[in-house]
């Protein structure tokens, strides 16, 4: 049956707000000086049962033209305006002339917590400028398969990296007065028929990997809202899963904010009520008033339970001051130029140089006369993946071609070739081939590039010995079959409005590449942890976005690899990936020395780890140092090593610095299925410090 979308209701007017202020003069809910809990309780106490029931769903959805992604109900009688929502992680889609930031996967490749904060601050300011005080992001589902159409919106394969970057991002969004909504909760790691996809996964794997970044978002960043996901988890749809929403999120992690559903993702009124989810989005279907009333009448819930749900919606809204003044702050539009600079910085820090044979890069301006570009993405650069997260990059958008032209300067000819004439390819001193695939929410893409792209690559590489490949994707791709044909390979992810500028600067050595892979890239899917338990057999993945909301029979995705995803898998199985997690080249070199571990006299920490990093090469550069821990004596199997610390260290040539990490008890812990709790077992641990998960430079042991 076709769904009817309700019309957009009018917002509470200024007069109605004034009227409520008079009628309810002195009421705690209107008084910013009163504690949030008192205000919430007072407001809920004044709402009628009908108002409460209505409050448990959004108003509508109107996206063509884009008018409403989501909003809470207005209550004119009480002077309560709508609280408006906007997608998402990469920028405030609903804000006029919003900046589109480089992908979240770019941020992951920077390993930069400070930049994560600035990214969040910028997005938060753009939301607030136009009155969107609920951001429908960030997305933090872990990278499990390269095919997932939303990998670009997420932070890669590792829970520690994801958690440590999303915490500052959320803090910054919320410091800007905007409620962050961590999503998609949970175990939503592929998009292929996501509404029919049942993630079958054991609790330890969930706790140690997939849930861990959400826990950090809630407990360490104080994230005020969460959005459930489309998929089922062990047979139960995420939003209807009481274990997930109430037992874990609320009771265990102490979350008392808003839990909303993803758009059109729920089915059963009784289960949805029982799960502890507060708000159906984008409008009432499962939480249709008649259905909620029926549950009240049958006594499966009582009004006090609805009060709790409504309080969870209002708590962040009142806590963030949304009742205490205009929701928009147009003066913040003055911050856009700073945001452009943040976009550029993410662009600079996120480029990952994966291959640089014979030191082709950096290109020397006086030795290169002509650069030829191939592949449509050079000129029609895709700014981000598609779906809820993507939007028009707007004014000031820089393409890769423009970036290279700008960095090349006057004396160097830069040409783009839609045709593949051998003579033109040969004539150039350097050829650059741009490769991408369609990545979009609600689709998973192929692992291999399409035939046209590969034909371009082969033809160019056959005719020009100095060929560079530039890949724009949110995840890994098949490159093993052609990597030997190119001299250099750059992973560029997605540039957003301003990020592409960095590519030219990096190719010419104005900056040294410093990004590292937040994912492992396999040679072949057969080598990877998900092989044989990702898609139903015989599935053919599309190359273009097929449209929304198609139906499929329910199918299981068995997370049989358990904890052994990504580098954990390659370590345990002793398989060589094409490029390991944490890998990326620089124009300089770094020496690691002097590892010291101490366990005494530490205020609460389990160990202090320090070492010396030296820039031993010819130019300034930034190294992403990584610290992994291996539990050498454990009563149950653990992955061979796990990332527990990382940092970016910028050094001038010859400069040295002491780098220090502290490991907490939690860093040494595992989720013990026997006790259903985190356990740090006494025994031996090995510390591994290195430049990637496969390039360990220093190691030593300590007892705990
Ligand atoms: C996406 C969410 C998004 C929502 C609203 C859904 O399709 O999964 O991430 O926030 O739409 O646009």
Task: Evaluate whether 370 touches 415 at the Cβ level (below 8 Å).
Answer: yes
Q: Is the CB of 191 under 6 A from ligand 1?
A: no
Q: Is the CB of 434 under 6 A from ligand 1?
A: no
DSSP per residue over 111-163, as a string?
T-HHHHHHHHHHHHHHHHHTTEEEE---B------TTBTTGGGS--S-HHHHH
Q: Is the CB of 185 under 6 A from ligand 1?
A: no
Q: How far is CA 616 from the centre of its chain?
A: 34
Which residues does residue 435 pair with via DSSP β-bridges, in sequence order? 471
- 146-175 pLDDT tens trace: 999 999 999 999 999 999 999 999 999 999
Q: Is the CB of 263 under 6 A from ligand 1?
A: yes
- On the question of pLDDT at 205 being above 60, the answer is yes
Nearest atom in ligand 1 to the alpha carbon of residue 387 is 7
Q: Is the CB of 160 under 6 A from ligand 1?
A: no
- Which residues make Cβ contacts (< 8 Å) with residue 185, sequence separation at least 6? 214, 226, 227, 228, 229, 238, 244, 245, 249, 259
Q: Is the CB of 225 under 6 A from ligand 1?
A: no
How far, in Å, is the centroid of ligand 1 from the Cα of 317? 20
Q: Is the CB of 88 under 6 A from ligand 1?
A: yes
- 667-695 pLDDT tens trace: 999 999 999 999 999 999 999 999 999 99
pLDDT of residue 4: 85
pLDDT of residue 537: 86
- 98-135 pLDDT tens trace: 999 999 999 999 999 999 999 999 999 999 999 999 99
Correct CATH for 590-703 of 1.10.1200.10, 3.30.1360.30, 2.60.40.10, 2.70.70.10 = 2.60.40.10
- 455-492 pLDDT tens trace: 999 999 999 999 999 999 999 999 999 999 999 999 99
Residue located nearest, by CA, to atom 6 of ligand 1: 263
Task: Evaluate whether 413 touches 473 at the Cβ level (below 8 Å).
Answer: no
Q: How far apart are CA 28 and CA 662, in angstroms?
A: 45
How far, in Å, is the centroid of ligand 1 from the Cα of 36? 29
**Structure tokens that stand for 259 in this block:** 């839990």
DSSP per residue over 402-465, as a string?
HHHHHHH-TTSEEEE-SS--HHHHHHSSEEEEEEE---BTT-B--SSPPHHHHHHHHHHHHH-S
Averaged pLDDT, 554-578: 98
How far, in Å, is the centroid of ligand 1 from the Cα of 440? 12
- On the question of pLDDT at 448 being above 60, the answer is yes
Q: Is the CB of 170 under 6 A from ligand 1?
A: no
- On the question of pLDDT at 292 being above 90, the answer is yes
Task: Evaluate whether 187 touches 229 at the Cβ level (below 8 Å).
Answer: yes
Among 62, 88, 104, name the best residue to mutate to test ligand 1's pocket (greatest count of ligand atoms within 8 A of Cβ). Answer: 88
Which of the four pLDDT bands, split at 50, 70 and 90, describes residue 548? confident
Task: Evaluate whether 6 touches 285 at the Cβ level (below 8 Å).
Answer: no
- 335-346 pLDDT tens trace: 999 999 999 999
Among 127, 263, 549, name the best residue to mutate to test ligand 1's pocket (greatest count of ligand atoms within 8 A of Cβ). Answer: 263
- Nearest one of 515, 649, 546, 567 to 102, comparing CA atoms: 515
- 226-284 pLDDT tens trace: 999 999 999 999 999 999 999 999 999 999 999 999 999 999 999 999 999 999 999 99
- Which residues make Cβ contacts (< 8 Å) with residue 481, sequence separation at least 6? none
Nearest atom in ligand 1 to the alpha carbon of residue 389 is 9
Find the angle CA(241)-CA(242)-CA(246) to the nearest 5 degrees. 130
Q: How far is CA 236 from the centre of its chain?
A: 24
How far, in Å, is the centroid of ligand 1 from the Cα of 363? 42
- Which entry of 112, 158, 262, 444 is annotated as an active-site residue? 262
State phi, psi for 41 to the nearest 5 degrees.
Answer: -60, -40
Q: Is the CB of 239 under 6 A from ligand 1?
A: no
Among 5, 238, 384, 441, name the best residue to mutate to test ligand 1's pocket (greatest count of ligand atoms within 8 A of Cβ). Answer: 441
Work out whether the CA dihedral 561, 534, 544, 154 comes out positive or negative: negative
How far, in Å, is the centroid of ligand 1 from the Cα of 388? 5
Burial class (CB in 10 A: 0-12, 13-18, 19+), 410: exposed
Say how many C-beta atoms besides its own lie within 10 A of residue 502's C-beta.
29
**Structure tokens that stand for 539 in this block:** 């599935």
Residue 262 bears catalytic tag: yes
**Secondary structure (3-state) at 598:** strand
pLDDT of residue 332: 98
Burial class (CB in 10 A: 0-12, 13-18, 19+), 218: buried
Among 69, 87, 104, name the best residue to mutate to test ligand 1's pocket (greatest count of ligand atoms within 8 A of Cβ). Answer: 87
- On the question of pLDDT at 1 being above 60, the answer is no
Domain locations in the chain as residue ranges? 14-332, 590-703
How far, in Å, is the centroid of ligand 1 from the Cα of 70? 10
- On the question of pLDDT at 656 being above 90, the answer is yes
Q: Is the CB of 388 under 6 A from ligand 1?
A: yes
- 596-609 pLDDT tens trace: 999 998 988 999 99
Residue located nearest, by CA, to atom 8 of ligand 1: 262
- On the question of pLDDT at 3 being above 90, the answer is no
Nearest atom in ligand 1 to the alpha carbon of residue 183 is 9
> Has this prediction a pTM greater than 0.75?
yes
User: CATH says 14-332 is which class?
Assistant: alpha beta
- Nearest one of 107, 511, 40 to 320, comparing CA atoms: 40
Q: How much helix, strand and coil, in percent to the nearest 5, is found in the chain? A: 30, 20, 45
Per residue in 585-623, is it b (16+ CB within 10 Å) or e — as a string? bbbbbbebeebebeeeeeeebbbbbebebbbebeeebbb
Task: Evaluate whether 169 touches 222 at the Cβ level (below 8 Å).
Answer: no
Q: How far apart are CA 688 and CA 691, in angstroms?
A: 10
- Which residues make Cβ contacts (< 8 Å) with residue 165, sequence separation at least 6? 107, 108, 111, 112, 113, 116, 155
Among 127, 184, 190, 388, name the best residue to mutate to test ligand 1's pocket (greatest count of ligand atoms within 8 A of Cβ). Answer: 388
Averaged pLDDT, 32-53: 98
- On the question of pLDDT at 610 being above 70, the answer is yes
- On the question of pLDDT at 623 being above 90, the answer is yes
Nearest atom in ligand 1 to the alpha carbon of residue 548 is 7
Nearest atom in ligand 1 to the alpha carbon of residue 139 is 9
Q: How far apart are CA 215 and CA 254, in angstroms?
A: 10
Q: Is the CB of 136 under 6 A from ligand 1?
A: yes
Nearest atom in ligand 1 to the alpha carbon of residue 230 is 8
How far, in Å, is the centroid of ligand 1 from the Cα of 387? 8
How far, in Å, is the centroid of ligand 1 from the Cα of 136? 8
Helix (H) or strand (E) holding 593: strand 590-598
Nearest atom in ligand 1 to the alpha carbon of residue 87 is 10
pLDDT of residue 196: 96
Which of the four pLDDT bands, split at 50, 70 and 90, describes residue 2? low
- Determine if the peptide bond prior to 65 is cis (ω within 30°): yes
- 57-82 pLDDT tens trace: 999 999 989 999 999 999 999 999 99
How far, in Å, is the centroid of ligand 1 from the Cα of 184? 9
Length of the chain: 704
State phi, psi for 118 to the nearest 5 degrees.
Answer: -65, -35
């Amino acid at each position: 049956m076709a769904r009817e979308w309700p019309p957009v209701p009018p917002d509470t007017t200024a007069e109605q707000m004034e009227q409520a202020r008079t009628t309810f003069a002195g009421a705690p809910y209107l008084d910013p000086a009163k504690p949030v809990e008192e205000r919430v309780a007072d407001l809920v106490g004044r709402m009628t049962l009908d108002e409460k029931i209505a409050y448990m769903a959004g108003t509508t959805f109107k996206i063509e033209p884009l008018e409403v992604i989501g909003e809470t109900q207005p209550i004119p009688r009480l002077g309560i305006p709508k609280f408006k929502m906007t997608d998402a992680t990469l920028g405030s889609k609903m804000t006029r002339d919003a900046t589109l930031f480089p992908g979240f996967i770019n941020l992951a490749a920077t390993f930069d917590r400070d930049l994560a904060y600035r990214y969040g601050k910028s997005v938060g300011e753009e939301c607030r400028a136009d009155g969107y005080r609920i951001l429908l992001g960030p997305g933090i589902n872990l990278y499990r398969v390269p095919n997932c159409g939303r990998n670009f919106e997420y932070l890669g394969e590792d829970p520690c990296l994801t958690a440590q970057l999303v915490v500052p991002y959320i803090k910054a969004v919320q410091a800007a007065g905007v409620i962050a909504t961590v999503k998609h909760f949970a175990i939503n790691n592929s998009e292929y028929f996501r509404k029919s996809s049942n993630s079958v996964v054991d609790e330890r794997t969930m706790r140690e990997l997939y849930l861990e970044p959400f826990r950090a978002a809630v407990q360490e960043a104080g994230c005020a809202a969460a959005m459930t996901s489309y998929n089922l988890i062990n047979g139960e749809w995420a939003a209807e899963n009481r274990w997930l929403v109430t037992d874990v999120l609320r009771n265990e992690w102490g979350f008392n904010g808003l839990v909303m559903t993803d758009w059109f993702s729920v089915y059963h009124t009784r289960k949805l009520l029982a799960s502890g989810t507060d708000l159906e989005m984008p409008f009432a279907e499962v939480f249709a008033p008649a259905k909620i009333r029926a549950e009240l009448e049958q006594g499966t819930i009582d009004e006090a339970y609805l009060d709790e749900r409504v309080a969870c919606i209002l708590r962040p809204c009142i806590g963030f001051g949304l009742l205490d003044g205009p929701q928009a702050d147009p003066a913040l539009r003055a911050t856009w130029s700073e945001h452009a600079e943040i976009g550029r910085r993410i662009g600079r820090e996120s480029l990952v140089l994966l291959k640089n044979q014979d030191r082709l890069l950096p290109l020397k301006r006086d030795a290169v006369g002509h650069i030829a570009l191939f592949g449509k993405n050079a000129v029609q650069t895709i700014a981000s993946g598609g779906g809820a997260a993507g939007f028009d990059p707007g004014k000031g958008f820089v393409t890769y071609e423009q970036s290279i032209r700008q960095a090349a300067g006057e004396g160097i000819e830069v040409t783009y070739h839609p045709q593949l004439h051998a003579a033109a390819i040969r004539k150039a001193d350097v050829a650059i081939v741009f490769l991408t695939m369609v990545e979009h929410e609600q689709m998973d893409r192929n692992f291999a590039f399409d035939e046209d792209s590969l034909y371009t690559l082969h033809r160019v590489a056959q005719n020009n010995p100095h060929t560079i490949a530039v890949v724009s994707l949110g995840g890994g791709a098949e490159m093993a079959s052609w990597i030997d044909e190119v001299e250099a390979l750059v992973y560029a992810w997605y540039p957003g409005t301003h990020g592409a500028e960095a590519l030219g600067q990096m190719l010419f050595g104005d900056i040294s590449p410093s990004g590292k892979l937040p994912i492992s890239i396999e040679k072949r899917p057969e080598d990877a942890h998900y092989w044989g338990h990702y898609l139903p057999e015989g599935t053919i993945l599309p190359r273009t976005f097929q449209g929304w909301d198609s139906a499929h029979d329910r199918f299981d995705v068995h997370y049989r690899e358990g904890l052994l995803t990504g580098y954990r898998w390659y370590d345990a199985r002793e398989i060589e990936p094409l490029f390991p997690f944490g890998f990326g080249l620089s124009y300089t070199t770094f020496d690691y020395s002097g590892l010291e571990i101490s366990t005494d006299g530490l205020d609460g920490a389990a160990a202090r780890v320090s070492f010396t990093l030296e820039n031993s090469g010819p130019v300034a550069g930034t190294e992403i140092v990584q610290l992994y821990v291996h539990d050498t004596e454990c009563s149950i199997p653990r992955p061979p090593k796990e990332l527990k610390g990382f940092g970016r260290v910028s050094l001038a040539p010859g400069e040295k610095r002491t780098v220090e990490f502290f490991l907490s008890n939690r860093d040494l812990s595992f989720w013990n299925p026997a006790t259903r709790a985190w356990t740090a077992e006494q025994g031996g641990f090995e510390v591994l410090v290195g430049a990637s998960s496969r390039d360990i430079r220093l190691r030593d042991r300590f007892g705990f």
